[in-house]
Every structure is written in structure tokens, then in C-alpha cells.
Structure 1
Amino acid sequence: MSGHDTGEVRDFAYEGFRYSCRVVAAHRPRLDPVLILGGAFQDKDSWRQHQPYFGAMADLVTVDLPGWGDADDLPARYGYDFLAAALEHLLTGLGRPRVNLVGASYGSLVAYCLAQRCQDRIARMVLSGAFDGVPAHTRATHERTVELLAAGRTVEFTEVMLSLLAPRTRAGAADGRNEALTRLLRAQFAGMTPEAAVRYAENSARVLAHPRLRSGGHDVPTLVLAGELDLCTPPETGRRVAAMIPGAAFVTVPDAGHLMWLERPRQFVGLLDDFFSGRSVGELACGAR
């Protein structure tokens, strides 16, 4: 498999909403398939740079659930339980009895609910940039982003989003990859279409109105990752999520922000591989450094 392998796109519908996924087969998979749910500004095509790292590990499944990517819009009144049900429907349609599950940022909420809904279908789960409702210190900021987009103030919207998501280093040193990622994010935020702005508002309303997650309810081995420099969902937020899951491990990744999977894709996939392969938490913590 090469990094340019487009895989197979499969289309589905659940309760009247169209959605899709991309399946990229590994050369010789040694683990259950890895299914990734990305954040609010990601879709099933956002993980192509990660594909080469999965070639000898597992089949890779990336998803556009309703409200994501090229799937149908999803009104905010539909909660994460609905999205988890759609994801279970996807697993059945794909004929995948069990997967390793990754939930990044916004996607961590759906992954968490899926684990409570059908834990027997998840071998292991990793949550990155996880949160249980919008952290109090950023709630006003999230509300502000919706207001700015609705008013067409995209320049201000872009700067607010970058203040939360732009990669940074502990020492403030220049980093070529992070600078390139910041430019990419700036272009993405500044170039949002009116349709994308409406979708962002609906997804933000879902996050802001979503009831707190229920503790426990599953025995899926879980790893919660947090970037040391994450301002959107700081480490203490991820630690609280880990405390809600019996036996969950928690690892802070040094010198990383909210988008660690984009800042350091090879390291991120390496942590997934380690955890999905059953390596100890101690080894993971050392590997994170």
C-alpha cells in the first residue's frame, strides 16, 4: 500500500441520512482494523498522510458520519448516541465484527458512546484531545466562533481558532512542520464556504448542548492521550475523561498540542500501534517522550 492508495469508498444510509467511509487495506494486517473518527474540521480524507504507517499494522477505516465531510448535514438536535448508532450500523454493513477505535477531539465523544453501546465490537480504544462537554474556560470562545462566522467575520474567526488549535512548542522555537500546519489551518478557516459555516454552527451547537457523558458502562481497554500544550482540551480535561473509564490509561504527550495527530503523525500512529498491540502503559509513557 502506498500513501496515495485511495482505498475503497463505501456509501451507507442510517435513518434517512447518507454517510460514507473509506477502507484502505493493509499488506499483511496483524491487528483488528483501525477505525478513526476525526475532529470537527476533518473528514475521511484527512488521514491520507497516515496511511503509509498502517501498511503493516491493520486495515484503516476513516468515516464521514452525518454532519462530517460529504455526508448529509445533521441538525444539532441529534446527539452523540445517534451518531454512535450510525457507526454501529456502519460496522455491520462493512462486515467488521470488531475494530480498534480511535476518537480524536470531537470524534472522541462518538467513540465513547459507541463503546458504551456495543463494547463487544471494540478491541481497544484510543481517545485523543478528549473532553466531557466543552471545558468551562473555552465555552465562551466556542460560542464566539459561531457568532463570528454567522456575521461573516472570517478573519476574526480564523484568529480565534488558531489561538486554540495552532501547534506550538514548549520553548516557542520555530518548527518547520508546525509552521506549515499553521498556514494550512489558516487557509482552511479563512476559506470556509457558507455551507461549511452552517455545518460548523450545527456541530458546535451539538457540542455545547450535549449532556455530560455517562461514566463507565463498558470494559473496553482504553488509552486517553493529551497534548502537553493543548489549549483547547488541556491535559486535566483528558485526565477527567480517563477517570470515567474503568482501568483507562492516561498519557500526556510532551511538546504537543490539540492536533497532535497532524503535528506528529508518525509518533501518533506509533502510539496507536503500541497500545493496540498490548504494550504496557509504562512503555507508552516512555515512547511518548
Structure 2
Amino acid sequence: MPTLVLLCGLLCDAQVWEPVRTRLPSPDDVRILAFPGFRTIEAMAAQVLDSVPGPLVLIGHSMGGRVALEAVRQAGDRVVGLGLANTGIHPTAPGEAAGRQTLIDRARSGGMEALAEAWLPPMMGASAERVAALMPALRAMVSANTRESYEGQIAALLARPDAETPLRGYKAPLLLLAAEQDRWSPPAQHEAMRDLAPQGELHVLADAGHMLPVERPEAVAQLISDWFVRHWPGD
């Protein structure tokens, strides 16, 4: 049986995936990996491959999706299943560096707490009540990062490797998870990924934004569980 590994995104740690992990059929067998202190997507992917032996099912959220695709490029024979949530495969867009620099400047001038206040709210898409309940823990998660680690992850994203080629050549099971209210990685990006890998199973969830795993953990866990059991039923 492959090991299911959940990969975290920018400024995120295990608490983004933990509500999903605990709802999966064998949560103790599931790994969560985050990437503080890294400065390249390539190094993040190598760390994933070095940390967990044997065949892998990688499900990446946001930046973690790009890490998963880079792991496919580095060791495609080991990645027997792939999940991509709230992510994309496009290269660096015009104006992207300037937009990210604005947030870096916010962190430099006001600290990581100020960054959390500016960065988190636009990414949320759940009900106001749900967002209010989630926000304290998410702010604390972002604020726990060092500015140096944040800038390193931004450098990694701006110098991100080609993600289209690994996806285009990927033939194993593929799960695509999008959120209707995700303005950062909208459903159209996931539809484009399915066009490149037609075996992809795409689900677009309502009442959620870019932080889908914490906004709709029950639904995400059910989709992952159903997909995993269908392809790797075990004994």
C-alpha cells in the first residue's frame, strides 16, 4: 500500500490538513509535511521523497501542489497517485513578483501579524460565521512563521519549476479539488489541469475559498477517502 502524504502550502503547517487527516479511515498512517525554511520547490520535493520511503500518494494544497508535481518530475515511478487542491501549473505571471513584494513589505514593516491580517481574509470563501471561527488559529499559524522563512517560500514560488510537463505526462490516478470562491486558484485552473490529464477526477466545492482543507474538511476528507479506497482498496 502506498503512503498518503498531505503537503502544505505557503505559510501553512499541519493544522491546515489535520482536520482532514483525522477524518480519514487510517489517520495514523497519513503523513503531513510542511516546508518552513526552504527556498526552492525542488528542495521541498526532494525532502518529501527522502522523508517517506516506498510508493507515495501525494496530495498538495496550494504551493504543496507544485511540490507534488515536482516530486513527480524527480521520481515519477514512486508517485502512484496525485492530488492537487487549490493550486495551478501556470508559470510566473506578469506583475506577480510586484504583488508578492507588497506583502513582503507588509511583513517587513508590520511583522507577520500584519501580514496575516492582509493575506488571509481575501483567501477565505466559507460563511462569515465559519471564517470567524477559523481565523484566530489561521492568524496564529501565519504569525508563527519567521519573515525569513516566508521570503524564502516566496522566492521558491517566483522561481518555480515547470509544472505543466510533469502533469501532462502523468497517467496514474489524479484527484483535483477546487473551491467555488477561490480567487487565488479558481476552478478554471483545475479544469485546465484536467484537460492536460484527462484521467483527473475534478470536484468543485461550494462555500469555500483557497483554504479549502480547513473550510470544508468533512467534504475534502470524504472525497480523498473515496478516491483512495477506489484505487488502493487494500486487503
- Specify the TM-score bucket, using the shorter chain as the normaliser: 0.7 to 0.9
Q: For 2:93 and 2:79, how far apart are their aligned partners in 1?
A: 27
Give 3-state SS (helix, strand or coil) of 1:278's partner.
Answer: helix
Equivalent residue, structure 2, for 1:201: 151
What pairs with 1:147-186 in structure 2 (closer than 5 Å)?
A: 147-152=105-110, 156-169=114-127, 174-175=128-129, 177-186=130-139
Listed one character per residue, the Cα deviations across residues 222-242 of structure 1 (whole Å, up to 9, x for unaligned) are 111110000121112222233
Question: TM-score, normalised on structure 2?
Answer: 0.82
Between structure 1 and structure 2, the one with the greater Rg is 1
The CA RMSD over aligned residues, in Å, is 2.7
Cα deviation, 1:270-289, whole Å, max 9, x if unaligned, reads 1101111238xxxxxxxxxx
SS of the residue aligned with 2:209? coil
Q: Residues of 2 paired with 1:240 and 1:136: CA distance?
A: 19
Structure 2 contact 111–147 (Cα < 8 Å) conserved? no
CA contact (8 A) 2:16 2:213 kept: no
Deviates more, 1:45-54 or 1:226-235: 45-54
Matched, 1:39 2:9: yes
The structure 2 residue matched to 1:272, chosen from 215, 219, 224, is: 224
CA distance in 2, matches of 1:158, 1:44: 17
For 1:206-217, list aligned pairs within 5 A.
206-215=156-165, 216-217=168-169
How high is the TM-score relative to the length of structure 1?
0.69
In structure 1, the residue matched to 2:171 is 219
Deviation sequence 1:81-109 (CA, Å, 0-9, x none)? 332222222233xxxx2232211111000
Aligned to 1:142: 100
Q: Which protein has greater RCO, CA pairs closer than 8 Å, 6+ apart?
A: 2
Q: 1:88 maps to which residue?
A: 49
Aligned counterparts of 2:135 and 2:95: Cα–Cα separation in 1: 23
Amino acid at match of 1:185: L
The one of 69, 73, 78 aligned to 1:121:
78
Q: C-alpha deviations, 1:251-270, integer Å up to 9, x for none?
A: 21122111111012111111
Q: Which SS does the other structure have where 2:82 is aligned?
A: strand
Pair 80,120 (structure 1): closer, same or farther in 2 beyond 3 Å: same
Which whole-Å deviations, capped at 9, do the CAs of 1:137-180 have from their partners, x for residues lacking one?
866432311121122365653332124323334xxxx43x3221
> Counterparts of 1:278 and 1:58 in 2: how far apart (Å)?
20
The 1:140–1:229 alpha-carbon spacing in structure 2 relative to 1, beyond 3 Å, is: farther
- Would the alpha carbon gap of residues 247 and 46 (structure 1) be closer, same or farther in structure 2, given more than 3 Å must change? closer
Flag structure 2 segments of 5+ consecutive residues without an equivalent.
Answer: none
Would the aligned equivalents of 1:135 and 1:233 in 2 still touch at CA under 8 Å? no
Structure with greater helix share of residues: 2
> Helix, strand or coil: the match of 1:120?
coil
